[in-house]
A and B are shown apart, each in its own frame.
Chain A
Amino acid sequence: MAPILSISGLSKTYDTGFQALKSVSLDIEKGEVFALLGPNGAGKTTLISIICGIVNGTGGSVTVDGHDIVRDFRAARSLIGLVPQELTTDAFETVWATVSFSRGLFGKPKAPAIVEKVLRDLSLWDKKDSKLMTLSGGMKRRVLIAKALAHEPRVLFLDEPTAGVDVELRRDMWRVIRELRDTGVTIILTTHYIEEAEEMADRVGVINKGEIVLVENKAELMRKLGRKQLTLHLADPLDAIPGALAAHNLELSGDGSELVYTYDTQGERTGITALLQDLNTAGIRFRDLQTRQSSLEEIFVNLVRTPS
């Protein structure tokens, strides 16, 4: 299946000389939720802004469902909905007016039923006649999502959708995103919250200093890059790690009752078998054991920190 969004060799150098994107290439499949992770200033927003037509790219090309974003901007943009990072709304408009405005702006005829559905889905219906300036930050965020959905886009960009949003609202938004995906909308979200990517994404891309460092299926990524820890709860506390076990990558907890073994799931051998044998030989008994996989956040921090 052809990708719904295809980015090839996209670069951007601002007038200041700052190179925000360095030949980024990326394909997004129809119907997936793609999370773009990266530290501040990595180029996430620049990338989205170019695709949506807010910033001009310096080189490379982007197509949306086969339509070039420059040559065929009408077709490309009418497929896209954008929820910006900043809470930029008109102050004096009502929720209903601003969402209807967005629909018209994207070339769609008036459709009160669709606007109503969007507002209801986002729990905004009882606020439809409220002026935007009277809404809380979380509500404004919902309004921005409603505006982006008013023209029934096939691709939705969410630039840090849950920044500054409370936990309850965040869960609400995740629900909305899942429902959207179920209707076949492709979703690309940028986030600082690894939890969000972990919760929502099918695939994860990591961008750092204007380059895509990695694109991977989320489960695969966690399996591949995840470090695992094996914790052994000892029957009898130890004072120090016995010399016979020095070859293993072990740590002893403060009170000496736990041994923690860190291993790499990417490695050919995990070394667990050898460790357990050596423990047996040394006569160290344990009551229990557990393994723990590192979170996406730890993986991410490791990736971005490692000099490329």
Chain B
Amino acid sequence: MNIHAIKAIYRFEMARTGRTIFQSIVSPVLSTSLYFIVFGAAIGSRISEVDGVSYGAFIVPGLIMLSLLTQSVSNASFGIYFPRFTGTIYEVLSAPVSYLEIVIAYVGAAATKAIIVGLIILATAGLFVPLEIQHPAWMMLFLVLTAITFSLLGFILGIWADNFEKLQFVPLLIITPLAFLGGSFYSISMLPPFWQTVTLFNPVVYLISGFRWSFYGQADVGVEVSLAMTFVFLFACLAVIAWIFKTGYRLKA
């Protein structure tokens, strides 16, 4: 294992975060605070409790997930796309590093940043609603697994994209709708039966459900199912990445 290389890439990526601290941390915190003001305080005060939890508190896990997903995808995709774009990727390709090490470094850094953002949002939420986390260990587990899974997805995106438009396209047009429709702001049980079934095809439902369970002990689907589905997505992304490196897709001619 080329530990020095993993550290070098990881540090490089984290330094990039440090340089763009405003964009990286302040903007998700700001937008989340706005969600709280609009949905939590203004509209939420007119909504009755959901599953015995005040609406403001109910949306906390969903909001964290929303940011976690978009942050993971955009961090990881940008992290690998940019060196491809500028050409500096040559150095990583010519270095004595294995594909696994490259993935660990880039995805690890993207996930770390997303988790930091997630925790900051959690702390921000604490300013608006009383926080209650029934299963902190599970919460961290879902947080970490989701960040890793979607950072892997972002890594795939960053390799697939051949222009900046595509790089923006997936988070904007796919991840955000999936997160919104995945129960960030409502319980699946509020939907008509037909749409409840449709929703079960949305992978994000399982992530949000499991995450919410770790807060309030209540979920749309069983926590075991959530965990299993998270792993399914994780391994699906790993399989795609394995294929990418095996074929050299968009990395090596």
Give A residues with C-beta under 8 Å from B. 14-15, 52-56, 73-78, 80, 82, 84, 86, 88-93, 97, 100-109, 147
Contacts and interface: CB of A to CB of B under 8 A. Distances in A.
B172 to A, nearest CB: 25
Contacts of A89: 86, 88
Contacts of A106: 4-5, 95-96
Contacts of A73: 96
Contacts of B7: 104
B91 A104 contact: no
A104 to B, nearest CB: 3
A52 B2 contact: no
B253 interface: yes
A77 B8 contact: no
B96 to A, nearest CB: 4
A90 B86 contact: yes
B86 A88 contact: yes
Interface in B1-35: 2, 4-5, 7-9, 11-12, 15-16, 19
A105 B248 contact: no
Given A89-B88, A107-B96, A15 B8 contact: no
Main secondary structure of the interface of B (DSSP, over half): helix
B76 to A, nearest CB: 18
In this complex, which of A15, A75, A92 has the most chain B Cβ atoms within 10 angstroms of its Cβ? A92
B252 A56 contact: yes
17 contacts: A53-B94, A56-B248, A74-B98, A77-B95, A78-B96, A80-B94, A82-B94, A88-B87, A90-B86, A91-B86, A97-B15, A103-B4, A104-B5, A104-B8, A104-B11, A106-B95, A106-B96
A39 B82 CA distance: 31
Contacts of A78: 96
Nearest to B88: A88
A93 B12 CA distance: 9
A101 B12 contact: yes
A90 B86 CA distance: 8
Contacts of A100: 8
Given A56-B248, A90-B86, A92-B19, A107 B2 contact: yes
B43 interface: no
A55 B253 contact: yes
A67 to B, nearest CB: 10
Contact of B90 (A14, A75, A82, A101): A82
A15 B253 contact: yes
Interface string B94-137: 11111000000000000000000000000000000000000000
Nearest to A12: B253
Contacts of B86: 88-91
Interface in B199-246: none
Nearest to B83: A90
Interface in B50-109: 86-88, 90-98
Contacts of A93: 12, 15
A80 B253 CA distance: 20
Contact of A90 (B5, B88, B93, B98): B88
Nearest to B10: A104
Given A77-B95, A92-B19, A84 B90 contact: yes
B90 A56 contact: no
Contacts of A76: 96
A91 B83 CA distance: 11
Nearest to A48: B94
A90 B12 CA distance: 11
Given A15-B253, A55-B253, A107-B4, A102 B15 contact: no
Nearest to A16: B253
A183 to B, nearest CB: 21
Contacts of B92: 105
Nearest to B2: A107
Contacts of B248: 56
